[in-house]
Chain A
Amino acid sequence: MSENNTDTPLVEIAGLSKWYGDFSALHDINLTVASGEKVVVCGPSGSGKSTMIRCINQLEEHQVGTIMVDGREVKPGMKNIEEVRRDVGMVFQSFNLFPHLSVIDNLTIGPMRNKGYSRVQATETAMHFLERVHIAEQADKYPPQLSGGQQQRVAIARALCLKPKIMLFDEPTSALDPEMIAGVLDIMIELAEEGMTMICVTHEMGFARKVADRIVFMDEGEIVEVADPENFFNNPSTERSKLFLSQLLGH
């Protein structure tokens, strides 16, 4: 898909630390994500996984460290943060669709306002992505009329309409009923197979195994282990990783 210079990593996080008041949410995070890579971030709750990816598009502001997105530094309070955000698609745990806009309008509003696309162009793009997520027939419905799984698929399509360079997923299936999780995961797998760069915070280890190039395990605000799926699941190298895996998989 995207012809990126594989020399420049898409996301470069160096020495990132963030505090909420006196509480250290992130401590000395270092992570590099290359173009086309799929990174799954996992860990117990409170480990800072969501905080970390939300720092990438500055929905959370960090105090120490640098974050580079496609060669551009992302800083708190920087002007034109919108330009960075248009290259970074985000999917939220609680979908966050705009309830007063129809599905198709949810998708077209971004491109129309940001890039000045006409309604016709934007609608074309929107329908394309709605078909990608297999939900084109719901185009004129309103979010409250859709099921959770459907809403999340719309949310994915909405993020894709920006044609972002990287997609961030913040526990996209955690708020879904079990029978809908598969539908959403399938789409994420399709995206991965097409070469989209992804950072995904999730508990879905089956998905991680299938899709991830690397697994990043975080605990208490720090990155504890980074490994490829094979090694992580079969040979976790730290005590904390072992503990986590046994809790997660040993039901």
Chain B
Amino acid sequence: MTISKIFKTLTLVTLLTLSGNALADDLLIDIQKRGVMKVGMATFVPWAMRDKDGNLIGFEIDVATKLAEDMGVKVEFVPTAWSGIIPALIAKKFDLIIGGMSITPQRNLTVNFTEPYAHSGQQMAASMQLADGFDSIDDFNKSSVTIACRRGATPCIAAQKIFPKATVLRFDDDAQAFQEVVNGNAHGMISSAPKPRFWSEAYPGKVFLPFGSENLTRGDEAFALRKGEHDALNFFSNWITINTSNGWLDETHAYWFQDQSAWKDMVAPE
């Protein structure tokens, strides 16, 4: 909690120091002049991950690549630690974040968001050992119940909001949160779909989806840009609208999120 507070303060201060910058709103021009669009993202299955040759693959990679193509420029990915990705954007380490970032009012105070380009929700995976038979919100909303989540991100916010009485355990990444459930130390864990589903498929006797394939929340994920880049915001939002209407975004999303069969082999040999 404190680290994200530090970041928020850091970014606000950076923002204020840089707000006098007269070069805002030139992002599109800069990208075109450079001929390269720099995209910040973080490794997050199946949004972005490494295939067995070490190359980046995933939903975001496809989106960013097509976006750059349509703009007539090359794309360059800047893998960044998630916890520092907004400060890095503000510090101009890259042009925009295409990272499955959920729109939240808090974040919106420091960055601008485009139209949503995907709607993933949060899902829960539960431990058979501890939570067998649980299938409603009330079952989990008790003080004796422990829920694990990845800190500083929407999963934990959702956990607290939906299950205020439960004890929330925060971890640095999803794998750790999930391990708690598998080990029988937490009743359930919340993470962005489709990860919980993938995990429950990997550990069939130990983990299940208490709410079926329904998501607990519906999220809106969008590109994030620096404040003041209005022309770019307009361009990217419209690109999203177009590619939603023509179905490309949905198609690509389904390819990566529906199940892992299409791309599982690319990630690494079993």
Q: CB–CB under 8 A between A and B in the complex? A: no
